[in-house]
Amino acid sequence: MVREVDPPSIQKEFLLQALAEGKRLDGRITLEQREVNFVFGEELGCVECRLGKTAVLAQVSASIVKPRDDRPYEGFLLINSEIGPMASSVYESGRSSDDEILITRLLEKSIRRTEAIDREALCILAGEKVWQLRLTLHFLSDSGNLLDCASLAAMAALKHFRKPEVEVIGDEVIIHSPDERAPVPLAIHHTPLCLTFAYYENLPPILDPTHLESTLCSGTLTLTLNAQREICVLSKAGGTPLAASEIMGVVNVGVDRVREMVKHLEEALERDREGRVVEVR
């Protein structure tokens, strides 16, 4: 694995000096996120999310499989997230670095384990046929904070996706093609989104660290929250210890941010829906 060259020491001095004045190198304030942009693909369930220069493409596809014997009513949600060298030259395909494992596991926790998707609604015929959703994430460019961007892209793609309508007559299952009947959206319980904060010694935390900021910080904290003010995941992997009051402070900030993000996501989806012709006869 090619180790990344550390940034020159003057970068750290300058960054700390700027943060002490409450300024960040890209002109943001401490708890401000980079601009979020969604690019919707031609197909339903294909969304590219851009957070500043960081970009992640999410793609959802569905197929019909046989459920597990012990859970005959549950469908599957598979998350595929491999960070390849396209994101940055430090990532190697086939071998996963610590960062990559952390990102993959947190995504798994914040999307699958929080039951964001109603898996029982994916059942077609108990014990026989269920939908299997496959969520594939392509990390296109790493300019810091891949995780937040990936969680946004994943939720946007799941909300954007429509599965074909199925009809069950007795034991027979008829799958209607999208030209015949309008495909149906997935049943989504809530929208958990990740927020990453970076900590520096004796300085207030910053939201959405860039690549330079995250290489120089003393620790990060990732929260997964939803618009209903629920903490879904809290992950603090190493770094400097934090007091409980500090964590509560960022949680309160995070709740507001997640509400804004969900609103922004819904607006973007709405705009896309208006411009899209869903064929119904």
* Residues near another protein (CB under 8 A): 5-11, 13-14, 17-18, 21, 23-27
Tell me the C-alpha to C-alpha distance, in Å, between residue 254 and each of 55, 106, 143, 247: 22, 17, 21, 10
User: Rounded to the nearest whole angstrom, what is the least distance from the CB of residue 29 to another protein in the complex?
Assistant: 12
Rounded to 5 degrees, what are φ and ψ at 131?
-80, 140
Q: Which helix (H) or strand (E) covers residue 69, if one does? A: none
C-beta of 159 vs 211, nearer to another protein: 211
User: Rounded to the nearest whole angstrom, what is the least distance from the CB of residue 156 to another protein in the complex?
Assistant: 24
User: Rounded to the nearest whole angstrom, what is the least distance from the CB of residue 25 to another protein in the complex?
Assistant: 6
C-beta of 22 vs 127, nearer to another protein: 22
CA 83 to chain centre: 14
CB 196 within 8 A of CB 209: yes
C-beta of 20 vs 101, nearer to another protein: 20
User: Rounded to the nearest whole angstrom, what is the least distance from the CB of residue 20 to another protein in the complex?
Assistant: 9
**184-185 and 162-163 beta bridge pairing:** antiparallel
Q: Order the strands of the 231-235 sheet from edge to edge.
A: 203-207, 193-200, 219-225, 231-235
Distance (Å, rounded) from C-alpha 92 to C-alpha 3?
Answer: 11
The HSE-up count of residue 181 (CA atoms within 13 Å, CB side) is 11
C-beta of 13 vs 167, nearer to another protein: 13
DSSP code at position 120: G
User: Rounded to the nearest whole angstrom, what is the least distance from the CB of residue 67 to another protein in the complex?
Assistant: 48
C-beta of 6 vs 230, nearer to another protein: 6
CB 209 within 8 A of CB 217: yes
User: Rounded to the nearest whole angstrom, what is the least distance from the CB of residue 11 to another protein in the complex?
Assistant: 6
C-beta of 24 vs 159, nearer to another protein: 24
C-beta of 13 vs 43, nearer to another protein: 13
User: Which of 250, 163, 162, 238 is closest to 206 using CA atoms?
Assistant: 250
User: Rounded to the nearest whole angstrom, what is the least distance from the CB of residue 38 to another protein in the complex?
Assistant: 20
